[in-house]
A and B are shown apart, each in its own frame.
Chain A
């Protein structure tokens, strides 16, 4: 199984939101809905504060609880990889996957009603391109690649830098990593 991963360098991210706009444009995400979003996290007590920006989205987990929860098979793995997609024609809108996702990464498309989420821009990945958010990032803080390839940039970064993946305690084995 190809294990696609996204690596985001929080040291370089400035929280400009270009990734959010690029995703909306590329995937024609309707107004009011977003497949990715930006988190600004301020820690500490004034005046000793640190700020961290994180571009967040579906983590395309290796143990995807959303996939296990789906009762109709609408949620599936793309081409045997870890990229998790939703087939709208099979989705009943039961929302089991939304409840099962610890990252709150899924949403109901309105007015159609089916569940939608980040696809890692699989249509671009299929052509050997990076996801739109990664291509657009003006500070170049986002990386995309195959984690099973030890020579890929994402593998090199995770081998040499300190990193965290969100909510690993859930056991979902997320594939979006943040460098520190």
Chain B
């Protein structure tokens, strides 16, 4: 009897272990944050069979939903204000107002509670819900209601000193900057912030802190930091802060004449990170349709479609800012395209086009960079010229002048290098033309003051190629090739600059 009693705890432990294993491969993960008018709450999630699930009991009161198992309907019925959603328990599907919605996994019973995948809220519940529901999976945010939750991205461009950093707010957001002892505080007119910031600072910036107050970005400065400033610029729907922190000024005892604080700061546009911004130029637009294929597809529409894919891909994967010279069907002059690129201080310009040939069988992609007449004459490489202009603070600054129609000349070698890289990557995914890389006097590239390349993605004059160029698969292949080429080009630039 005593022996049996002593065995009881061991049996209990074994039973509990077996029970936990029987419940599958579930584990808990970092919770999601739910942001609503009522504030921020934590939603616990469980991973079962590789899928992230939320227990309906945990969010029933937040979303005002009720749920019950419905064997007749073959699933789980979720009701919100008299509107019903049936979530399948054996297929990753939900039925909303008779419409099938695909989910990442079926509703699952865990213990005594029913759980649904996290995308149930944005994919199914949002269709009957009175407010907006947005899932930002990467930042583990679930936003409920019409809230302003801009994305905040911070990076150190140069440790210095002086130290330079950039903070980008997307979409553009009204703001104010306050300089406090030991820190700069940027207040944003938003309901909450979604932040992607480096863990540690560098140089004279000790740390970036988000949300000391709900909608502020704080830049904590090192003890040896001197004057600091944050200058906001709004371009293409993004608010971009250039943060400059100068070292502490020498004290009166140790130094002779103290320069004005503004002099200690670097000029706001001369230092930039390698490939922080690139410009994608969807060729043609508006009345200028470009090439029209036999089946009626137009170059201007296809270049825009690919440009938007490239933008989304590069921004999400590489964190590089991408500016489009046009984001809708409108005419943009060739000089205006160059001006957009030059004004954005981008590190790369890529013009997207589709080709035509007098022969219907011509096929393949072609990469083109600008041909510069090195023999001099009207189109020779420009001599650098500089003028001295007065700047704020009563001093002067030398500014390089470059002839507008010769701006590309100084980037000829780097453009050629990127053309070669892009050709290599395109070749792995799409058919290349008989002359896959060319050097031509291209009008759109001549005034671009940065490495610049034009790519003819396929021949619209070839009916097979035209069908291909319209397909999602082909466009994805081209976009992916461009992404890979940009990544390699960034490495090439970093190696060249000895970073």
Q: Do A and B bind each other?
A: no
- Interface positions of B (Cβ within 8 A of A): none
- Interface positions of A (Cβ within 8 A of B): none
